[in-house]
Each structure stands twice: as structure tokens, then as C-alpha cells.
Amino acid sequence: MGDVIRLLPDHVANQIAAGEVVQRPASVVKELLENAIDAGATRISLIVKEAGKAHIQVVDNGKGMSETDARMCFERHATSKIKKADDLFNLNTKGFRGEAMASIAAVAQVQLITKTSHDELGVCIDIEGSAVTKQQRATAAVGTSVTVKNLFFNIPARRNFLKSPQVEFRHVTDEFHRVALIHHDIHFELLHNGSEVFQLPPTTSRQRIVHVFGSKFDERLVPVSEKTALVGVNGFVLKPSFAKKSRHQQFFFVNGRFIKSGFLHHAVMAAFEGLLSPNHQPGYFIFLRVPNDQIDINIHPTKTEVKFEDEHALYAVLRAAVKHSLGQFSIAPVLDFSKDKTLDTSYTQYKSAPISPRVSIDASFNPFAASSGSIKPTKKVVFDDDFFDSSAKPLLETNPTSISFSFQWAKKYLIAPHENGILIIHQRRAHERVLYEEYMRSWETNLVGTQAMAVPLRLTLDNPSITTLTTHKDLLIEMGFGIEQIEGDFIAFNAIPEVFTADEIPSFINQWLTQTTNGTVHAFSQRDVMARTLAGQRSIPTGRVLETHEQIELIHKLFLCKEPDRSLSGNATFRILAANELERFFRP
């Protein structure tokens, strides 16, 4: 048998290595920004087109590279950061593996222009798929400019796996945030498709957070500070009242490097014990300083995973520091996290005189009458918490024809006879399904009306939320929103869809932004996200008592849906208890 083991060609080895380092455009952004910081830059520009799929450019005013170094940086395991293995335990730079530039050049078309302060001319190198296509002297400013075009041009399968431009740009923005937040003394700017997204001048750590996430963030921050022989802890946590269900405002930095650590996150969660409502996450910006010889960052090529020499002691210090800050600034539990909207008084009923309830009884009504005599309610059924609002529109108008009797059990389930047995329906899930399909049908057929606002509704949001709203501006207009102005950290609506009240818009926008930005809802379109959110808000809450005719109309409407058997979360909306199941239960 002949020899079968052979060395892989360099371009194949580079493509294999690139799979770990370059996963999406955001990976390229991270590596290039970190290289610019290691070069001593004080001003860094990130220019992105089509969310990085077509064009990524990072320009810095660092020390630049000589012609030899410029050529060598594209070789695998070529680095200026370390010289021997012991240097791995005394790292003061972002990069050290010598894989990033080689991996990027293996899967994209790259142009590098660089110049040092000692050279009269710079050097320009074009490289494509690991092969140098041009190298020449060029006029350039001191520093380095790296342009990456057509990412994954030679790996179509990888390119096809990239997400939509909105999702990919969100990942790019996340990486930009992670670098800009820790290096607040560097001027950063981000441009996307020719529009300025961020312009961040050098400032303090607190002001950099405010510049990134919006002016309202300043009042939300609680300082954290602790220094021990083991670790130095600095940074900020957000007040519990601003906790969210998503985790996109959680940042850990160790020795100037962004990391992900479930262990440290648990320490912060333990410090917030008793201060958060269920399923909510605290926001935090924690900067840790640990001796270099007590940390190992050479775990994964992305360098976001680390190992600490004494994790348990670090856990205790971090938990105590956060807890001390929350106590020092008198952060106490908020009692109305789960405020019941049904207890609020509507604007139309505020300070109005109470109206005595009136009950009319149909003495001839017989619930056990023959099925041919269907129940015909004498008034429209209104599934709205404001019982006295004469302007409210009924959600269910279709008269039932097949179900003649039902009753409510445990204020949660509807039970009715069925030709195949006993029908048991979860009322909230059923109503959610009904509303969702009604909203989707209305939006798809452009039947949703618009109500003009006498005074524009103004919402103040953080910068990422404003960016998301700007991205989906045309869709919002199509859905019935009228956008008067988007500027700075606020948006003003001069019209809203008639399915909303003005009071519902802030909570709806916040929930919709959370789902859209973080991908927590797997939706086929933004209409789907909006319909899901609105149906969830408007559906009948558990514990709501329904009249018999309301129950019957809800049942009838459910079975007119396209997918009556499943709720929006995929759970069952009803079950039919067949006769044979009952017989088995009562069998002697």
C-alpha cells in the first residue's frame, strides 16, 4: 500500500482555517478593528456596504507597515504580537495568532494600502483567494487601509448561508459596539451604504456608552467599582426597572477584550436576585482587569472564551461588587413589574360617573334546545377590556351555526359538545390565533385604516432601536404608520394604524423592536412579527369571564382559521376528548 498522507496546498489550508476565523462579515470587522487598535491608531473609520457582503473597509492612522511586513501579514501564523510560547501568558494586544489576514484573504478580494512615517511612499497590495495579484508603491497617508470585497466569492455555499442584510448589519454593529465601548479614548466612525451611523469622539467610559445607546442611558447607569489583589472591577449596571427580556445590552470586558462568560453572567444575576421580574435580564457594562498570568485567552480563534485561574473567587468578588453598588445607590425592588393593564382606567372613562350595570334576561332561552335552533346574540360581542366604550368594534361577528352550547371552566377553558366527543379549547390561545389571522389578512389585503394624530406621538429610544426603525421605515408606513420625523434618539408618528390606541404604541414598538432586533421570533416577514406582537397583546387574558354567546362565537371563529389547531407558539389550542377515551376511563 502506497503513502496516502500528504500536505495540503496553502490555499486549501487557508480556506479550512478561514472557516473558524471568518464566519460572517462581522468576523472581518472584528479582526480589522482589532488590528487597527494594535497599530496604535487614534482614529478609526469603518465603511460598510450591503451589510459587509459587498464591501468592508477599515481606515486607521496607526503606525503602518513596511513593504515587507505588508506582504508577510497575509502569511499564516505570521504575527508581530508574540515571539515565543511564554508570551501567550503576557498578552497586551488584541491579536496574536497570526491567522486573521490570511483567513480573510483566502475567502475574499482584499486590498491593503499602508505607509509608515519613515517611508516616502506607501505600498498597495491586491490579493484574491490567497494569491497576490498586484503589489506596487503608492501614495498614501500614514496608517493602514484594508478593503475587503465580495466576501466568500469563491465559496458560494458559505455565501448562501449568510442572513438578510438587516441581520448581518446587526452583527456588524454588535462587533463595532464591543470594540468602541472598551476603547473610549479612540475616535470611531461607522458608515453604512454612504450614511453615517455612528460618530464617536474620544470621551469617558460613561459618555461612550451614552453616545452608543442614546442620551436616556445616562440616568439608567449605576456605577460599579471594586479593586482587590485578584481582580479590578469597574463599569456600570442598568437599574432593574430597565431590564429587558433580551440580552443585547450585556458586555463583559477582560483586560481590554470583549468576552462571553456564562459563569460571570450568573454572578451578576445572583447580585440582582429579588430585583428583577421573571424572564428579564439586567443590562451591564463590566470591565475587569486580571493579571495576565492568571488568564488564558488562547481557547478559540475568536478569542471570546477565556479561562480564569481562580473562577470561584472572581465570581464572589463580582457578585459582591454589583450587589454593593445596587445597595449603595438605593436600588430597591419595583412592585409593579407585572402590572395588569385590565386595571387601568381608559382615557375616555377618567373621572366619569359610574354607570350601574344592567342585565337583561331572556326567559325563553333554553340551553338544551335542539341544535337546529342556533343562539343569536342580541348585541355585538366586544372582546375589549373597556366595557363601556361604545366606539369599540367587535372582533367576532360571525354567528355560530354548529355549536349550540358551551361553558367556561377555571376561567381558562371552553368546553362544548362535539360530534366526535367533547371539545376543550384554551381560550387565550384560541383568541390569539383568531386575532393573528385577522390582522395578517387585513394587512395582506391593505384593509387596515390609518388614524391621524392631532399631536404627533413622540418616542425616545436608544440608537440601535432608531437604526432598526429607520431600516424598516418603508414597512412601517405600509402598515399604516405615519412617520413625521426621525432624528437623534427620537421618532415622531403623525398617524398610527386604527387597530391601535395611542397608549399601546410605546409598548408595542418596544416589544416589536426586541423581537426584530434579536431574532427571538422566527417570522417569515415583518408583518408576521407585528401581527404576532399585536395578537399577543390583545388576546383574552386567562381569568377573563366570557358570556355564553362570546364563547360560541370564539369557537366558531377559531375553526374558520387556516391553522386552528396551533397557537402562535406552536402549542395546541384545542383537544377533542373522544367517546372511546371516556369509555376506557369508566371501564370497570
- The verdict on residue 346 lying in a domain is no
Which residue from 5, 8, 28 is spatially nearest to 18, judged by alpha carbons?
Answer: 28
pLDDT band per the 50, 70, 90 thresholds, residue 19: low
Which is higher by pLDDT, 100 or 288? 288
SS3 state of residue 516: helix
Looking at the chain, the whole-number percentage of residues with pLDDT higher than 90 is 26
Same domain, 193 and 66: yes
User: Contact, 44 vs 60, CB < 8 A?
Assistant: yes
Q: Is residue 82 part of a domain?
A: yes
Among 55-64, 404-413, 452-461, name the most confident range: 55-64
Using the predicted structure, report yes or no on whether residue 501 has a pLDDT greater than 80: no
Task: Please indicate, yes or no, whether residues 158 and 25 belong to a single structural domain of this protein.
Answer: yes
Helix, strand, coil percent values for the chain (each to nearest 5): 35, 25, 40
What interhelical angle do 205-213 and 463-471 show, nearest 10?
Answer: 20
pLDDT tier at 390, thresholds 50, 70, 90: very low
Q: Indicate which CATH number applies to the domain containing 314.
A: 3.30.230.10
**pLDDT of res. 206:** 92
192/243 same-domain check: no
pLDDT value of position 302: 61
531-570 pLDDT tens trace = 787 788 888 888 888 888 888 888 888 888 888 888 888 8
Q: Are residues 161 and 306 both part of a single domain?
A: no
pLDDT average, residue stretch 101-107: 87
DSSP state of 345: P
CA angle 298, 303, 307 (to 5 degrees): 55
Q: Which of 306, 328, 350 is the last residue of a domain?
A: 328
Domain that holds residue 183: 10-202
pLDDT on residue 184: 93
pLDDT confidence of residue 55: 95
Q: Are strands 43-49 and 187-192 parallel, antiparallel or unpaired?
A: parallel
Check pLDDT > 60 for residue 314: yes
- Determine contact, residues 539/403, Cβ cutoff 8 Å: no
Both 174 and 227 in one domain: the answer is no
Are residues 286 and 178 part of one domain? Answer: no
Q: Is 460 helix (H, G, I), strand (E, B) or coil?
A: strand
- One-letter amino acid of 203: T
Examine residue 242 and state whether it is found in any structural domain, yes or no. yes
Whether residue 342 lies inside any domain: the answer is no
Helix runs in 370-520, H state only: 427-444, 463-471, 473-478, 505-518
- Please report the pLDDT score of residue 14 as a whole number: 63
pLDDT of res. 485: 82
β-strands 109-115, 122-128 pairing: antiparallel
C-alpha cell recorded at residue 526 = 415583518
Same domain for 74 and 14, yes or no, is: yes
What's the pLDDT score for residue 556?
86
Please tell me the distance from the alpha carbon of residue 287 to that of residue 308, in angstroms, as a whole number: 15
Residue 389 sits in the same domain as residue 538 = yes
Amino acid at residue number 28:
V
Q: Is 419 or 126 the better-scoring residue by pLDDT? A: 126
Rounded-to-integer distance, Cα 205 and Cα 223, Å: 11
Residue 22 in any domain: the answer is: yes
In terms of domains, do 179 and 220 share one?
no
- List the CATH number of the domain containing 133: 3.30.565.10
For residue 420, the tally of other CB atoms under 10 A from its CB is 10
Say how far apart CA 482 and CA 493 lie, in whole Å. 5
Res 273 pLDDT > 50: yes
Give the CATH number for residue 504.
Answer: 3.30.1540.20
- The residue-averaged pLDDT of 26-51 equals 92
Structural domain total, the chain: 3
Q: Are residues 195 and 214 in the same domain?
A: no
Strands (DSSP E) contained in 488-534 are 490-497
C-alpha cell at position 373: 335552533
Instruction: Using the CB atoms, write b or e for 336-359: b if 16+ within 10 Å.
Output: eeeeeeeeeeeeeeeeeeeeeeee
Q: Which residue has the cell 508574540?
A: 82
Q: What is the mean pLDDT of residues 170-183?
A: 92
More confident: 338 or 278: 278
Edge-first strand listing for the sheet containing 407-409: 407-409, 413-418, 421-426, 574-578
> What does the block give as the cell for 79?
504575527
- 478 occurs within a structural domain: no
pLDDT in tens, 337-385: 444 444 444 434 444 556 666 666 666 666 666 544 444 444 444 444 4
Q: Is the pLDDT of residue 260 over 60?
A: yes
Residue 80 is predicted with a pLDDT of 67
Residue 298 pLDDT: 59
Of 293, 312, 328, the position where a domain reaches its end is 328
Per-residue model confidence (pLDDT) at position 495: 86
Which of 202, 231, 256 is the last residue before a domain boundary? Answer: 202
Number of CB atoms found within 10 A of residue 225's CB: 14
**What is the C-alpha end-to-end distance of the chain, expressed in Å?**
74
Residue 176 in this model has a pLDDT that exceeds 70: yes
Longest CA–CA separation in the chain, Å: 102
What average pLDDT does the structure give for the chain? 79
pLDDT in tens, 211-240: 998 888 888 899 999 998 889 999 999 988
- Per-residue pLDDT at 173: 93
Q: Strand 143-149 vs strand 109-115: parallel, antiparallel, or unpaired? A: antiparallel
Residue 172 lies in a domain: yes
Question: CA angle at residue 543 from 536 to 376, to 5 degrees?
Answer: 85
The DSSP result for 16-35, as a single string, is HHHHHH-SSHHHHHHHHHHH
- 25-38 vs 165-182: helix axis angle to the nearest 10? 20
- Identify the pLDDT of residue 349: 47
**Under DSSP, is residue 275 helix (H, G, I), strand (E, B) or coil?**
coil
pLDDT category at 201 given cuts 50, 70, 90 is: very high
Domain annotation covers residue 492: no
Angle at which helix 548-558 crosses helix 427-444, to 10 degrees, equals 60
- Residues 161 and 223 occupy one common structural domain: no
Residue 274 has pLDDT above 90, yes or no: no
What angle do the packed helices 311-328 and 262-271 form, to 10 degrees? Answer: 30
Choose between 247 and 381: higher pLDDT: 247
What pLDDT score does 351 carry? Answer: 44
Looking at the structure, tell me whether residues 197 and 79 fall in a common domain: yes
